[in-house]
Structure 1
Amino acid sequence: MGSAVTIIMPVFNCAPYLPETLESVIAQSHDNWTLLAIDDKSSDDSASIVARYAATDSRIRLLHHTEQKGAAAARNTGLAAAQTPWIAFLDADDIWTETKLATQLSWLERQGYRFGATSYGVIDGDGRPLATRRVPAQIDYKQLLRGNPIGTSTVMIHQSALNGVRFPDLRRRQDYALWLHLAQRGLSCHGIDTPLTLYRRRPDALSAAKLPSALATRHVYQTLPNLSRLGALKAYSTYLWRTGLKHLGWVDY
């Protein structure tokens, strides 16, 4: 069966995409998993869709927030409930290839790594391919300050690597903030340059708003422990430069 994995999936108003996302989990060749879907008080049919799948697959559990708290709090709710050594993250509108868990888990365990990510494809709301984002072989703190090549839905991490660290309470870029906190403590992320995830770029998503996202990234740098004001300014300037190159297609992340 292989090592047990808990998949943590925040859910908020993703009804049109949830069936495809859930089917991609159920289709995994590595079947020793538990999916914790945390509904963040959706106003559409998202919770009922997850509940229907949970009724036919005992590996799927639906948790509820009684008030909307955001993706960071939803992921932290999942982390608090997780009881397996390995954690994987998946957003409710993204898709995994059939071998995502098996490929990444076996590779991480074989190499003795505790934190990993993969390359990923970018699709639009209708599933049409837009781009491919490549993950470096190793991402340390210095490299991560230049920009975030780690797609959240590609991440697998061991509980011992988290060591109780949780997503900060930020509306945007809370995933990037967590990776930076872990990297500051000396933890590197190791990448598999194979697209094992499809990231859905939706026009209504928080991350699609370029100016708010840029300001959120600046806030992440400003609130990062042990990073000077000058260091934060340098990191933000590099981020803006690389973001421009990415939109021109000159860099892969």
Structure 2
Amino acid sequence: MISAVIPAYNRARTIGRAIDSIVAQTRAVDEILIVDDASTDDLAAALEPYDETVRLVRHEKNRGASAARNTGIAEAKGDMIAFLDSDDVWTPEKIARQMDFMAEAEVSASCTNFKVIPPGEESGKPAWRPYDEILDLTDLVWGCYVSPGSTLLCRRSVLQKVSGYDVSFPRYEDWDLLVRMVRQEGKIGFLNEPLATVYLGTHLSPEAAEGGLERMEAKHWNELAGDGFGSRFQSALAFNLASVRRLEGDYGSMLLELARCYWLYPIGNWPLRVILRDRFRRR
């Protein structure tokens, strides 16, 4: 049994297209669970056409996306859980392709590739990810680049074993989750097909992002350094901090963090390759 879980906060405008993309699956899910994280817009009205299609659980107070996903994990009836953010969509064959892939790869959790649509644009292109079919710590130490909020399909028991999302993270909670999952399972599958469309947000908090990176370092540094990933992890933190500085408009600090990222791990630094690849593609 497959449960689709959508956490929602003030997404009355977009949640319909998310639900429609689940309904359109060639392999039907058994349950669509909406977790309303105390929305203040008219989300209830947006859900009225789907009364017979979805099950709604509501938080009385806003608790954040991690807590909403944890509620979805606890409330879901399925032994498999597929996450979808309330402003994103799946392609019709997403669940069918991913379930077949997981059976072939013998994995209990997997993510897929996806298309990225920047703010204000209507079309996008698939993300470039240099991954094999199996993700391990060598991949995940660099960060969370598989958009699990809209691509993760996982056995509920695995999510329960790792105690779900860590609600202490203001950002980068997905990165933390996947690192803990791969330690639990040894591997996570990656299907390199763009089976979701991710609409990038416009209101990202630099303070929350910086706090998330600090929490990530405090929680995972000892284990990752002990596994021999210390330089890569520090380089990854610098790369993500460069993104925060860009959000703040501090381009001098951004360049310094990118330089630190390269200095810490110059060979095999694939996030830097993404920047160069995207830059030359635009020319």
Q: Same fold (TM over 0.5)?
A: yes
> Which residue pairs with 2:187 in the alignment?
188
Q: Please, what TM-score do these two structures have when normalized by structure 2?
A: 0.77
Task: Indicate how the Cα distance of structure 1 residues 210 and 188 shifts in structure 2: closer, same or farther if over 3 A, else same.
Answer: farther
Q: Is the 8 A contact 1:71 1:171 kept in 2?
A: no
Determine the C-alpha separation between the residues in 2 that align with 1:187 and 1:84: 23
| Amino acid of the structure 1 residue aligned with 2:159 | L
Task: Say whether 1:93 aligns with 2:91.
Answer: no
Task: Say whether 1:54 aligns with 2:50.
Answer: yes
Segments of 5+ residues of structure 2 without an aligned counterpart are 240-260, 262-269
Deviation at 1:110, TM superposition (A): 3.3
Higher relative contact order (CA 8 A, sep 6+): 1
Determine the C-alpha separation between the residues in 1 that align with 2:218 and 2:152: 24
Deviates more, 1:38-47 or 1:217-226: 217-226
* Alignment equivalent of 1:162, drawn from 159, 165, 168: 159
**When the two structures are aligned, how many residues end up with a matched partner?**
242
Task: Say whether 1:143 aligns with 2:139.
Answer: yes
> Which residue pairs with 1:177 in the alignment?
176
Deviates more, 1:35-44 or 1:158-167: 158-167
Determine the C-alpha separation between the residues in 1 that align with 2:171 and 2:89: 21
| Amino acid of the structure 2 residue aligned with 1:249 | R
Determine the C-alpha separation between the residues in 2 that align with 1:215 and 1:229: 20
| Amino acid of the structure 2 residue aligned with 1:19 | G
Q: Please, what TM-score do these two structures have when normalized by structure 1?
A: 0.85
Determine the C-alpha separation between the residues in 2 that align with 1:28 and 1:98: 4
Which of the two has greater strand per residue?
1
* Alignment equivalent of 1:17, drawn from 10, 14, 17: 14
> Which residue pairs with 2:264 in the alignment?
none
Determine the C-alpha separation between the residues in 2 that align with 1:130 and 1:248: 18
Determine the C-alpha separation between the residues in 2 that align with 1:72 and 1:228: 23
Instruction: Tell me the C-alpha RMSD between the 2 structures.
Output: 2.4
| Amino acid of the structure 1 residue aligned with 2:14 | Y
Identity among equivalent pairs (%):
24
Q: 3-state DSSP class of the match of 2:51? A: helix
> Which residue pairs with 1:77 in the alignment?
71
* Alignment equivalent of 1:222, drawn from 212, 218, 221: 218
Deviation at 1:212, TM superposition (A): 4.3
Specify the structure having the higher radius of gyration (Cα): 2
Superposed CA deviations along residues 87-106 of structure 1, whole A, max 9, x for unmatched, are 11100000100111111112
Task: Say whether 1:110 aligns with 2:107.
Answer: no
Determine the C-alpha separation between the residues in 2 that align with 1:38 and 1:219: 25
Determine the C-alpha separation between the residues in 2 that align with 1:211 and 1:129: 29
Stretches of 4+ aligned residues off by more than 6 angstroms: none
Deviation at 1:238, TM superposition (A): 3.0
Q: Is the 8 A contact 1:12 1:39 kept in 2?
A: yes
